Amino acid sequence: MRNENNFRTVNRILGDSPRLGPFPADQIFPWSVIAILNVFIVFYTFKAGWLATFLSIAWGWATWWLVSARNDFFGKFVGVPRISRGYMPFQRLKKNTFVQREEGTGNS
């Protein structure tokens, strides 16, 4: 007789971020503000067509998503440290060469 502990997932969205369909819930309000501002600025102020308005809205949404979703998208890129601490003796980059002037060759 097999005695295995097979656990069944009851609620698979526990611990997941809230979503409204495919869109993250924390992006809905900023995206709405971006869309409304773009309609007023691009369509009504600049008298551009709906195509230009929708392109500017999509550009604004994509820019906002890239800037604000740093853990979701940019979290997979791990930064490398630029500075490492170590100890070694000091070495000059250039050899010390002194030019000595001869005494009595000046105008003094």
The one-digit pLDDT tens for each residue of the chain (108 residues) are 565 667 676 777 776 778 888 778 888 899 999 999 999 999 999 999 999 999 999 999 999 988 887 666 666 667 776 776 777 787 777 777 666 666 655 555
Q: In degrees to the nearest 10, what's the CA dihedral of 26, 60, 69, 22?
A: 60
Tally of domains within the chain: 1
The three-state secondary structure class of 20 is: strand
Residue 87 domain flag: no
Closest to 64 measured CA to CA, from 18, 40, 29: 29
Residue 84 domain flag: no
pLDDT attached to residue 84: 67
pLDDT attached to residue 86: 74
pTM of the predicted model as reported, rounded to 2 decimal places: 0.55
pLDDT attached to residue 29: 93
SS percent in the chain: helix, strand, coil, step 5: 40, 5, 55
pLDDT attached to residue 98: 67
Burial environment of residue 15 by CB neighbours within 10 A (0 to 12, 13 to 18, 19 or more): exposed
pLDDT attached to residue 31: 94
pLDDT attached to residue 37: 97
Residue 32 domain flag: yes
Residue 48 domain flag: yes
Residue 5 domain flag: no
Q: Which structural domain, as residue segments, surrounds residue 63? A: 24-68
Residue 86 domain flag: no
Residue 90 domain flag: no
Residue 63 domain flag: yes
